[in-house]
């Protein structure tokens, strides 16, 4: 499995334990399905560098040791019940890049996006992609945010869409060979 896979598994274990305690105004569909949660989150983490994974795992361990639940904080922010947790300006830069990537996915694979993507229509709750991502990033340490920013900025400069890569991994875990096959299938069941 390698260091990446081992680190991802440790992250997922801690995140799942935290996620089970989240009480949100907008509960996530994967909150009652550990398999679905694992597939979704691991597909994202598989696009991360080992340094990012290590840094985020450290964030989780520190929070856990202090009795802080990062996922509860994320959902509480999404529900706008607490003020921002981290005002690092790189968060907004990351959100801009990833929102652009989401738009690309929505344009290329509209049926897949309508079934699996978060809304791109501005709202103040976690159903809106930018709010969801921003609230998650606010729970990260500045070190993790810095590594995350460098990673997405480098990918963006190379015209790589990491969100598209994550989605492809998720679709493969769902039994599809590629995104075109998933799009074709989702168009049929609309």
Q: Mean pLDDT in the chain?
A: 91
pLDDT at 127: 54
pLDDT band at 119; cut points 50, 70, 90: low
> What does residue 13 show for φ and ψ, rounded to 5 degrees?
-60, -45
Main-chain phi, psi angles of 119, to 5 degrees: -60, 145
Helices (H), the chain: 2-19, 34-45, 50-65, 70-78, 90-108, 110-116, 129-137, 142-157, 162-173, 179-188
pLDDT tens digit sequence for 172-184: 999 999 999 999 9
- pLDDT of res. 3: 84
- What is the Cα–Cα distance from 146 to 140, expressed in whole angstroms? 10
Residue 27 clears pLDDT 80, i.e. is over it: no
The H or E element that residue 127 is part of is none
Q: Where are the domains of the chain?
A: 2-188
CA-CA distance, 109 to 103, in Å (whole number)?
10
Contact yes or no for 73/139 (Cβ under 8 A): yes
- Angle at CA of residue 169, ends 167 and 171, nearest 5°: 70
Q: pLDDT band for position 33 (50/70/90)? A: confident
Please report the pLDDT score of residue 116 as a whole number: 80
Q: Which neighbouring-strand residues pair with 128?
A: 119
Distance (Å, whole) CA 119 – CA 117: 6
> Which residue do the tokens 């069941």 mark?
189
- Alpha carbon distance 53, 147 (integer Å): 10
Q: What is the pTM of this model?
A: 0.90
């Amino acid at each position: 499995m390698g260091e990446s896979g081992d680190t991802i598994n440790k992250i997922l274990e801690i995140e799942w334990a935290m996620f089970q305690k989240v009480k949100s105004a907008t509960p996530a569909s994967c909150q009652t399905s550990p398999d679905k949660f694992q597939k979704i989150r691991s597909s994202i983490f598989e696009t991360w560098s080992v340094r990012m994974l290590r840094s985020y795992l450290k964030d989780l361990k520190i929070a856990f040791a202090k009795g802080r639940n990062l996922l509860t904080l994320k959902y509480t922010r999404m529900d706008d019940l607490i003020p921002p947790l981290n005002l690092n300006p790189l968060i907004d830069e990351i959100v801009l890049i990833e929102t652009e990537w989401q738009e690309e996915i929505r344009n290329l694979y509209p049926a897949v996006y309508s079934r699996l993507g978060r809304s791109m229509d501005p709202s103040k709750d976690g159903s809106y992609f930018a709010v969801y991502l921003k609230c998650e990033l606010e729970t990260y340490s500045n070190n993790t945010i810095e590594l995350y920013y460098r990673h997405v900025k480098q990918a963006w400069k190379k015209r790589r869409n990491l969100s598209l890569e994550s989605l492809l991994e998720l679709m493969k875990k769902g039994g599809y060979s590629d995104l075109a096959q998933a799009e074709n299938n989702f168009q049929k069941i609309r």
